[in-house]
């Protein structure tokens, strides 16, 4: 059964434990600037929003990769960057409309959330269950995925994305 990160911004307190857990898992240091998950703070509304890759089914990053360096793990559905294949061209970073795959200048490769091989450190670290790792079916309506679908494929002929300017 596929599992997914389910994010409920309403439960986020802005503590950034997720960012620290993520950076430690991936970089072996506490470095929120290298976290694959990021908490956005809308302080004037008292609202905090954790944000990361949704592992979208038809992944833009994966399709844009010219060298097949991003693949889908069949069991988990996770989009994985293979560092040995990534040439650092960064096309995925502009192709992903969510901005959740990013260039890491210190390695010359791109980084993204890979759900920590099945036990996401962010969900484990979240004190208020704003981030949980759940069976997709149980999770039910997942806003980010819905949005991914809506804004998604260039194949969609209608929707938000009508041409905006005529010369």
Partner 1 sequence: MGWTGKILRINLTNRTVKSEPTNKDWALKYLGQRGLATKYLVEEVDAKVDPLGPDNKLIMATGPLTGTAASTGGRYSVITKGPLTNAIACSNSGGYFGAEMKFAGWDMVIMEGKASSPVYVTIFDDKAEIHDAKDIWGTSIWHADEWIKKRHQDPMIHVAGIGIAGEKLVLYSAVVNDLHRAAGRSGVGAVMGSKNLKAVAVRGTGGVKVRDGKAFLAATAAGKKVLQGNGVTGAGLPTYGTQVLMNVINEAGAMPTRNSRDVQFEGAHDISAEAMATPRKTDGKPNLLTNQACFGCTIACGRISKIDETHFTIKNKPEYWKASGGLEYEAAWALGSNTGVKDLDALTYVNFICNEQALDPISFGATVSAAMELYEIGVLTKEMTGGIELKFGSAEALVKCVELTGKGEGFGKELGLGSARLTAKYGHPELSMASKGQEFPAYDGRGIQGIGLAYATSNRGGCHLRGYTISSEIFGIPEKTDPLTTVGKPALVKAFQDATAAVDSSGVCVFTTFAWTLNDIAPQLDAAIEGGWTADKLVELGERIWNMERQFNNRAGFTAKDDSLPPRFLKEAAKTGPATGKVSGLETMLPEYYALRGWTKDGVPTNETVSRLGL
Partner 2 sequence: MKLISYVILGAGPAGVTAAETIRSLDKNGTITMIGGDPEPPYSRMAIPYLLHGSVKEQGTYLRQAPKHYEALNINYRHGKAGGIDTKSKQLFLANGDVVLYDKLLIATGASPIIPKVPGTQLPGVHSCWTLSDAREILKLADKGAPVVLVGAGFIGSIVLEALHQRGCDLTVVEVAPRMVARMMDETAGGMLGRWCTAKGVHVLTGTKVEKISEAAGANGATLSVGLSNGTSVPAKLVVLAAGVRSNTGFLVGSGINVNYGIHVDNTLQTSAPDVYAAGDCCEAIDISTGKPDMLAIQPVAVEHGRLAGMNMAGKVTPHRGSLNMNVLDTLGLISSSFGLWQGAPGGDQSKMIDEEKFKYLKLEFLGDKMVGAQCVGLTDHVGMLRGLIQTGLHLGVWKERLMESPERLREAYVEVSQGTAARGAHVNAPVAKVA
Residue 120-159 contact track with partner 1, rule CB under 8 A, x = bound: -----x-xx-------------------------------
Among 18, 114, 144, 145, binds partner 2 (CB under 8 A): 144
Among 32, 57, 80, 89, binds partner 2 (CB under 8 A): 89
Q: CB–CB of 104/83 below 8 Å? A: no
Residue 19-38 contact track with partner 1, rule CB under 8 A, x = bound: -xx-xx--xxxxxxxx----
Is 156 an interacting residue with respect to partner 2 (CB under 8 A)? yes
Nearest-5° Cα angle at 76, 92 to 135: 120
Separation between Cα atoms, residue 117 and residue 107, nearest integer Å: 20
Please give the C-alpha separations between residue 97 and each of 9, 13, 55, 116, 148, in angstroms, as whole numbers.
20, 26, 12, 22, 9
Among 107, 117, 138, 161, binds partner 2 (CB under 8 A): 161
The dihedrals phi and psi of 12, each to the nearest 5 degrees, come to -80, 135
Q: Which residues bind partner 1 (CB under 8 A)?
A: 13-17, 20-21, 23-24, 27-34, 43-48, 125, 127-128
């Amino acid at each position: 059964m596929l599992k997914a990160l389910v994010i409920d911004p309403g439960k986020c307190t802005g503590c950034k434990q997720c960012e620290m857990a993520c950076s430690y898992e991936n970089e072996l240091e506490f470095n929120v600037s290298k976290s694959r998950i990021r908490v956005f703070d809308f302080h004037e509304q008292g609202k905090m929003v954790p944000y990361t890759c949704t592992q979208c089914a038809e992944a833009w990053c994966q399709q844009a990769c010219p060298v097949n360096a991003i693949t889908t793990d069949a069991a988990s559905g996770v989009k994985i960057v293979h560092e040995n294949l990534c040439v650092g061209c960064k096309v995925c970073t502009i192709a992903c409309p969510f901005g959740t795959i990013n260039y890491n200048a210190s390695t010359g490769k791109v980084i993204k959330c890979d759900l920590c091989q099945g036990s996401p450190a962010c969900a484990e670290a979240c004190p208020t269950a704003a981030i949980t790792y759940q069976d997709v079916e149980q999770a039910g309506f997942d806003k980010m995925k819905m949005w991914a679908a809506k804004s998604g494929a260039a194949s969609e002929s209608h929707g938000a994305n009508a041409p905006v300017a005529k010369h």
